[in-house]
Amino acid sequence: MRNRRGRERRESGGPPGQLPWARVTNPFPPLELLRPEQLDAIDDAAFTILEEIGLDFLSPEAMPVLRAGGADVEPGSQRVHFGREVIREWVGKAPQHYLVKGRDPARDVGFGGNEMVFSLVASAPNCSDLEHGRRPGSFDDFCRFVRLGEVLNAVHVFGGYPVEPVDLPAATRHLDCQRAFIELGTKPIHAYSLGRRRILDAIELVKLGHGIDDQTLEEAPRLTSIINTSSPLRLDGPMIEGMLELAARLQCCVITPFTLSGAMAPATVVGAIAQQHAEALAGIAFYQMIRAGAPCAYGGFTSNVDMKSGAPAFGTPEYFRSTVISGQLARRWRLPYRSSNVNAANSVDAQAAYESMFSLWACVAGGANFIKHAAGWLEGGLVCSLEKTMLDADLIQMIRACMEPVVVDSDALGLDAMREVGPGGHYFGAAHTLARFETAFHAPMISDWRNFQSWQEAGSPDAARHAHDRALALLDTYEQPPLDSARKSALDDFVERRKREGGVLAA
């Protein structure tokens, strides 16, 4: 039925048919790029880094926690060393699999195991679409992308602000954005660990918006947050504050070193991964020291720079390899694994597509559980693109279709159809074909399979143009999900009060 609807709508210029929303399980065995003894060597290098060099924790609040957990804090210093048994003990307390809940329980997703959770692009300072061009993000843009993320079945969660609404004051921006996430969508949301006040506000808002108390909040995370180390080998104060508050409430932190090989990490993939591994393990151990069992994930974000210009590169062979190897490391530590769908293209051209495909297949081959920036990322993350969001959603759906189980039975084998058609015939009119006319094959949202002449007569639309039209048509179908009026009032009251207080300036 969905395929038929998809075709009808496409003909009429309406929204494309989507696959139904579903939790996605990756049935393919992960690629084992490194041998066990090579993984041992990386583990050992990470241990050596943490024992010998150590990590700087840029907040005194971390120190009592670290000391109590058995880490070695240099007196009067930010430098912290970890013995390998301390790391093993604490990382071993992290859960292997957990639910992350949306406002609508039908949108809950699982982190870990073989599950794949796809998030909308996050944290781009700019956005773009073919109609309005490239521009700094506004709150209107933010809301538009949240609506698109809500309506796209390929998108499971919001991984952060799709675009930074720079027209809103920085001190209260998080209040508007967190409220908009809750009001405009039903899927799991994200909060930035940019200091204690913002995180506490986000925690309060999700409780008010979901209509839950502290105890229910602790039953399963409703907020995810990305903890980026300030590589090399540092964890900054605002991130530490976020971790302290989120772990205390059993919310989810994804510890993701930002290790660009050749810039913030050694100029070898293996060296950058060793550093990433040390930073991630230390961060996860610290998170467990705050509260054992707090949901977290191992984040890999190791790519390379163009050595000549220093520009970050994404969707490269180095990115492929680091993504797959990071997955091996996360699995041996029994941690949910986060990676990303990234590229460094400046427009939605062939480069954007092939770099994204290298990234997405790396996520599949690497067994990634949480694929951040899965839809919409362009320009190495500097742009959230309307067309790229739609294109990526289509790629995710195609990957889902590749992963569906293959049925081999007499109906699928179709021997009766072959007997009916015989040598030299054709299958267009066969009963076996007619019975499958509407549903036989996956219907992509963007691919244009018309012949050249028809395509030319239609104005030679490229994939970016189709993506633009399909995104607008899908946005037209968006309806704001209902929210209980008492919860709505509670959200508004909280936001109004906190704005009166000056937002984070009043903290």
Q: What part of residues 10-29 is at the interface with a second copy (CB under 8 A)?
A: 28-29
Choose between 19 and 199: whose C-beta lies nearer to a second copy. 19
352 near a second copy, judged by CB under 8 A: yes
Stretch that binds a second copy, among 189-197, 202-210, 244-252, 380-388 (CB under 8 A): 380-388
Among 25, 48, 477, 489, binds a second copy (CB under 8 A): 48
406 near a second copy, judged by CB under 8 A: yes
Paired tokens of 32: 């084992």
Among 285, 348, 363, 471, binds a second copy (CB under 8 A): 348
Site residues (CB under 8 A) for a second copy, limited to 412-441: 412-415, 417-419, 421-428, 430, 432-433, 436-438, 440-441
d(CA 507, CA 491): 19
Among 5, 14, 41, 59, binds a second copy (CB under 8 A): 41
DSSP string, 310-322: --EE-SSHHHHHH
Choose between 361 and 478: whose C-beta lies nearer to a second copy. 361
121 near a second copy, judged by CB under 8 A: no
d(CA 264, CA 475): 39
351 near a second copy, judged by CB under 8 A: yes
Site residues (CB under 8 A) for a second copy, limited to 238-297: 261-271, 274-275
Query: What's the burial of 91, exposed, middle or buried (CB within 10 Å: 0-12/13-18/19+)?
Result: buried
326 near a second copy, judged by CB under 8 A: no
Choose between 190 and 321: whose C-beta lies nearer to a second copy. 321
Paired tokens of 102: 């949306």
Site residues (CB under 8 A) for a second copy, limited to 177-236: 230, 232-234
Closest CA to 352 of 382, 308, 322, 310: 382
Choose between 203 and 364: whose C-beta lies nearer to a second copy. 364
Of the CA atoms within 13 Å of residue 329, those in its CB half-sphere come to 32
Please state, in angstroms and as integers, the Cα–Cα distance from residue 243 to each residue in 5, 93, 195, 211, following that order.
45, 16, 9, 23
d(CA 195, CA 199): 7
Site residues (CB under 8 A) for a second copy, limited to 125-184: 134
Please state, in angstroms and as integers, the Cα–Cα distance from residue 425 to each residue in 227, 410, 417, 429, following that order.
61, 21, 11, 10
Among 182, 244, 281, 463, binds a second copy (CB under 8 A): 463
CB of 421 to a second copy, least distance (A): 6
Q: Residue 112, SS3? A: strand
